[in-house]
Amino acid sequence: QVQLVESGGGLVQAGGSLRLSCAASGFTFSSNALGWFRQAPGKERAFVAAINLSGSITTYSDSVAGRFTISRDNAKKMGYLQMNSLKPDDTAVYYCALRSEGHINGDLVPAVFGPWGQGTQVTVSQ
């Protein structure tokens, strides 16, 4: 069984930065792609970023590309999302999740990821 726990969320002013962490436990992590998603009030869970099993390939949603950086440390079983130049529209609960496969090809929708962490709140003020 794999368990994921997000941390690092908080309140930050527009233009500021936060780094989210995703701690994994269990017997698998390095063989799975890692994704970050977010869900704002009244909206569906949306893709943010993903990284393949080795960390050699990353992809981002258009809304965060150039501002966010996803990374992972397989030895520590940790995933990260560095968020810079934050905007009020980035306000959401952020979730990390693993994929059953190691690649990040195809449509990166929530349905192809799991298990999920519990989420961490990110609030960006004007």
Average pLDDT of the chain? 96
Task: State the maximum Cα–Cα separation within the chain, in Å, rounded to a whole number.
Answer: 42
Residue that the structure tokens 């609960």 belong to: 93
d(CA 36, CA 51): 9
**Sign of the C-alpha dihedral, residues 100, 94, 86, 62?**
positive
List, for residues 67-109, the tens digit of each pLDDT value: 999 999 999 999 999 999 999 999 999 999 999 999 999 999 9
List, for residues 28-39, the tens digit of each pLDDT value: 899 999 999 999
Which runs of consecutive H residues, i.e. helices, occur in the chain?
Answer: none
Mean pLDDT of 10-39: 96
Q: Which are the contacts of 119, defined by CB distance < 8 A and separation ≥ 6?
A: 6, 39, 93, 94, 95
**Sign of the C-alpha dihedral, residues 60, 63, 69, 71?**
negative
Instruction: For strands 68-73 and 78-83, give the pairing.
Output: antiparallel
